[in-house]
Structure 1
Amino acid sequence: MIRIIALTPAGKKLGERLVMSWPNASLDYKPKPFAVLVQRAFQQGDWLVFICATGIVIRTLAPVIQDKFQDPPVLVLDEEGKFVIPLLSGHEGGANEWGAQVANQLGAQLVMTTAKPYLNPIYTLGMGCERNCPLEFLESLMWEALKQKGLTPSDIHSLNSIDIKADETNLIALAQKYHWDFNTYSAQELAPMESLLSTKSDYVFKTVGVYGVAESAALLAAQNETGSEPELTLNKIKNAKATIAIARGFSS
């Protein structure tokens, strides 16, 4: 769940703008008791947007912060909506990419304080599936993946797989439905992505010649599109008939 917390009338108006774009978001205006409610939301894993001074957020969350692998993403905005600061869980928690989306939505400046300036992320999907996989299995899995990372189909640049899936009817149909390029790559082309995979399947390697189709294809496509070192945004997830992963690269 996304919680937007505003402390001034101007901040409330900005929060109302954001809520219109996020159906699963709630706006809390001057919540009381402030520290208790905010800390509880943070501990239960809610994604938090504060429209207030950064110092207030730091002092309030300090007692419950654990580490970048467990804490939910936290953004801080000024009440005029001119600046967006990913404050916590920038890389691992997704606050950097989320902050970039919010900044783009508001026409605001993204204020990055982490090592990489993630200003222009290019997202790519990689998918593997059983032969003649029904479209509903592919599409439902795609939506689950996007939901997990707060992305929409318009954020995705391309759909990618291994070359033996070049004629997979419903992978092609999925790409056409959402106006994505559909690319396939040989096992030899995908092999250099091996070191970046989250897991390696010996079964998949014996079957198609790479240790993971979805992750490898997404990573290679992100690298090809941006010329930068790609990274996994979402490690592969699966349903009964398909797997999917999301990768990204960064263009200047």
Structure 2
Amino acid sequence: MIRIIALTDAGQVLGKRLQTLVPNSELHFKPKPFAETVQDFFREGDALLFICATGIVMRTLAPVIESKLQDPPVLVLDELGRFVIPLLSGHEGGANQWGSDVAKVLNAELVMTTANAYLNPVYTLGMGCERNCPLEYLESLMLEGLERVGLAPEQISGLYSIDIKADETHLIELAKKYQWPFMTYSAEALKAVEPLLSTRSDYVFNTVGVYGVAESAALLGAQRLTNASPELRLNKIKNPKATCAVARAYQI
């Protein structure tokens, strides 16, 4: 859930506009009690978009900030919608990319303050599937996932999975169709990115030895391509026969 929080009448006008432009968003105008309400949203992991002064945001969130690996993304906008500032979790939480997306829809200026503004993103696709999964299940899910995060197939650097899928005919065919390298990793190797998973499935772990194939494979692929810390750009989505996730890491 994306929480849009406005504190002035002009901010409320902008917030209503954003609510129509940003999917899965909800506007909160002068929520009361302010600090407790906002801190609860933050603890729940909701993405926060404030239309107010940055000082108010920092003083309010300071007691609940933990780390860039755990905190949800936070953006701050001026009430006229001229500037978009990724304030917290810019890289790890995705606020930089989210801020860029918001700036584009508002025709605003993105004010980037992190080093990642000078780095190149590398995107990787992770997939898991039932044995002999039909190509149409894989391709439709992949296209849906990329559409959700505004990526095109040509922006993907490779398709990744677990080694028991190394001979999966239609994963191989999918990679060939989109001219991606197809690589697989052992369960032991995939465990290295376990702390970065958005969800953990005991069923999957008991079956293949990792808590999530798609997310783990995408994350490890991005890490090994860049030698940098990866993050999930798209948390796992699924259909009846396959799973899909997208990861991102930055390289100079």
TM range, smaller chain:
0.5 to 0.7
Shift of 1:198: 2.2
Q: 1:168 corresponds to which residue?
A: 170
Residue 210 of structure 2 corresponds to residue 215 of structure 1: no
**1:10 partner letter:** A
Mapped contact 1:237–1:245 kept (Cα < 8 A): yes
**2:65 partner letter:** I
Q: Matches of 1:216 and 1:56 in 2, distance apart?
A: 35
TM-score, length-normalised on structure 2? 0.66
1:207-246 to 2 correspondences below 5 Å: 214-215=217-218, 219=222, 232-234=230-232, 242=242, 244-246=244-246
Q: Matches of 2:249 and 2:63 in 1, distance apart?
A: 35
Q: 2:21 corresponds to which residue?
A: 21
> Residues 193-223 of structure 1, C-alpha deviation per residue, up to 9 Å, x if partnerless?
x89x626x9x99xxxxxxx994389539x96
Question: Identity, % of aligned pairs?
Answer: 48
Q: 1:4 corresponds to which residue?
A: 4
Q: Matches of 1:34 and 1:166 in 2, distance apart?
A: 52
- Gap change, CA 1:12 and 1:231, over 3 Å in 2: same
Q: 1:207 corresponds to which residue?
A: none
**1:219 partner letter:** A
Q: Matches of 1:73 and 1:113 in 2, distance apart?
A: 14
For structure 1, which runs of at least 5 residues remain unmatched after alignment?
205-211
When the two structures are aligned, how many residues end up with a matched partner?
A: 226
Mapped contact 2:82–2:109 kept (Cα < 8 A): yes
**1:28 partner letter:** H
Mapped contact 2:100–2:110 kept (Cα < 8 A): yes
Mapped contact 1:75–1:85 kept (Cα < 8 A): yes
RMSD value, Cα = 4.3
- Gap change, CA 1:112 and 1:168, over 3 Å in 2: same
Q: 2:132 corresponds to which residue?
A: 132
For structure 2, which runs of at least 5 residues remain unmatched after alignment?
195-204, 209-214
- Gap change, CA 1:182 and 1:22, over 3 Å in 2: farther
Shift of 1:133: 0.8
Residue 185 of structure 2 corresponds to residue 183 of structure 1: no
Q: 2:67 corresponds to which residue?
A: 67
Q: Matches of 1:58 and 1:251 in 2, distance apart?
A: 29
Q: 2:199 corresponds to which residue?
A: none
**1:58 partner letter:** M
Q: 2:79 corresponds to which residue?
A: 79
